[in-house]
Amino acid sequence: MESAAKTPKSLTLPWTTRITLWLLDIGLNLIMRKDGTVNRGLLKLVPLTPPSSEPINGVKTYDVVVDPTRKLWFRVFVPTQYTVEDLPVMVFCHGSGYIVASADTQLYDDFCRKFARELHVIVVSVDYRLAPEHRHPAQHEDGLDVLKFLDVEENRSKWLPGNANISKCFIAGDSAGGNMAHHVAVRASQFNFQQLQVQYILTLFETSPRSSVAKERMVVGLVSIQPFFGGEERIGSEIRLNGTAPVLTLKQTDWFWNAFLPLGEPYNRDHPVVNVSGRYAVDISKIDLPPTIVVVAGFDILRDWQIRYYEWLKKSGKEVNLVDYPNMFHGFNLLPELSESDQLILEVKDFIHNVLNKVFTALIRILKQMTLSVPLL
């Protein structure tokens, strides 16, 4: 879908979903203290899922420690029905405003398990440091360091299953994780990885039908689900939906940003880590960002920031698709009772297939060109 759909006047949801969202909103407000700290004691009531060597819903899991000194680890989700297939790796960054949740939070364990099973991928769910105890750039450094960890042959062979193809590496995230996934992908594009890369073929038929260039690309695709972006300016969807959308208010998002950003100048909501496409935006036109899918929803107060992100990627010459769910809200992907959460899985599955198919087609094309250029003996 390449254009935003028209948002209905009112949101239609099952009453059970409305109750769930109401309880989540109450819980979120209870943990956000007025002094800018998080009530971590109350978070102990949030259900967690331990790793399981026995498959649950067709997926087994285990945890891997990257750096015990900062408690950086990730959970691996392995779909057991595809043991002999060559599976892509999806590095996933969870959401929740950079202040709560973890790779073993039940909501995210269930979601990543579904991703692994339905998308036929090995999911690596990053458990990064949280704000305000650890402010930016700690989270983005943790994400990049997980990629660096997987780039080491010894780590990769020890901790990933044998059917994991690291050269087919995607990065994904929802909400704050969507913000994180973008910034980690930007950082990764400027790092010289050794193993975690693919020879990505770009055929330049515009200038010469017989010319081509091979370029190393570390991440082959970016899945950005309702990414958490913002700015000092209050824009359309924030004004229109504040207080009426079932998830997120301006008071909450401002609190998140205040907890996440370092104190003092130049850190405000117009910093490029927040306002990614604003006047201080990083010039990405010459950065080799991978194809991207951006998911938005009609009743998400962040909607217009996310559409600006999509338009900025497109204007910067990047390959990007927009998928709009006009009757959904922020975080709908985590609620399996909604049919739209299943539709999202299908959209991401198609995106992965199309990205990998383009890489394969380009490789075949260049191999044919190389064959034709070899003189016969």
pLDDT number for residue 375: 60
Q: What is the mean pLDDT of residues 143-164?
A: 95
Q: What is the mean pLDDT of residues 121-126?
A: 98
Which pLDDT belongs to residue 296? 98
| Average pLDDT rounded to a whole number, residues 12-27 | 93
According to the model, what pLDDT value does residue 373 have? 61
| Mean pLDDT, residues 183-189 | 95
- Cα 26 from chain centre: 26
Q: For residue 245, what are the β-bridge partners?
A: none
Neighbours of 71 (CB within 10 A): 13
Domain containing 295: what range?
Answer: 24-204+214-370
Q: Name the least confident of 249-253, 287-291, 306-310.
A: 287-291
183-198 average pLDDT score? 82
Q: Which two tokens stand for residue 32?
A: 């956000």
Task: Tell me if 98 is assigned to some domain.
Answer: yes
User: Count of domains in the chain?
Assistant: 1
Under the banding of pLDDT at 50, 70 and 90, the label for residue 211 is: very low
> Which pLDDT score, from 0 to 100, does residue 199 have?
43
Question: Residue 361: inside a domain, yes or no?
Answer: yes
Confidence of residue 264 (pLDDT cuts 50, 70, 90): confident
Radius of gyration of the chain (CA): 21
How confident is the model over 157-185, as pLDDT tens digits? 999 999 999 889 999 999 999 999 999 99
- Give the pLDDT mean for 244-264: 96
Report the 10 Å Cβ neighbour count for 23: 10
Residue 208 has pLDDT above 50, yes or no: no
With respect to residue 19, please indicate whether it lies within any of the assigned structural domains: no
Residues 6+ apart with CB under 8 A from 41: none
So what's the pLDDT on residue 95?
A: 98
* CA count, 13 A, side-chain hemisphere, 349: 13
More confident residue, 96 or 214: 96
Q: Is 3 domain-assigned?
A: no
Asked if pLDDT for residue 354 goes beyond 90, the answer is yes
Predicted local distance difference test score (pLDDT) of residue 82:
84
The set of catalytic residues is 175, 300, 330
Residue 377 burial (CB < 10 Å; 0-12/13-18/19+)? exposed
Q: Give residue 9's pLDDT.
A: 74
Q: Is residue 18 part of a domain?
A: no
In a domain, 15, yes or no: no
Residue 366 resides in a domain: yes
Q: How far apart are CA 294 and CA 224, in angstroms?
A: 5
pLDDT over 90 at 337, yes or no? yes
CATH (domain of 362): 3.40.50.1820
pLDDT in tens, 278-298: 999 999 999 999 999 999 999
| Contact (CB, 8 A) for 203 and 362 | yes
Q: How confident is the model at residue 51 (pLDDT cuts 50, 70, 90)?
A: very high
Q: Is the pLDDT of residue 197 over 70?
A: no
| Per-residue pLDDT band at 12 (split at 50, 70, 90) | confident
Tell me the percentage of the chain whose pLDDT exceeds 70. 89
Contacts of 114 (CB under 8 A, 6+ apart): 57, 336, 345
Look at residue 90 and tell me whether its pLDDT is greater than 50: yes
Out of 45-59, 80-94, 168-182, 362-376, least confident range: 362-376
Average of per-residue pLDDT across 19-47: 95
Unique residue bearing structure tokens 């420690």: 65
* Helix, strand, coil percent values for the chain (each to nearest 5): 40, 20, 40
Q: Residue 207's pLDDT is what?
A: 41
Please indicate, yes or no, if residue 377 is contained in any of the structural domains.
no
| Total count of residues recorded for the chain | 377
Residue 50: pLDDT band with limits 50, 70, 90:
very high
Cα distance between residue 308 and residue 85, in whole Å: 38
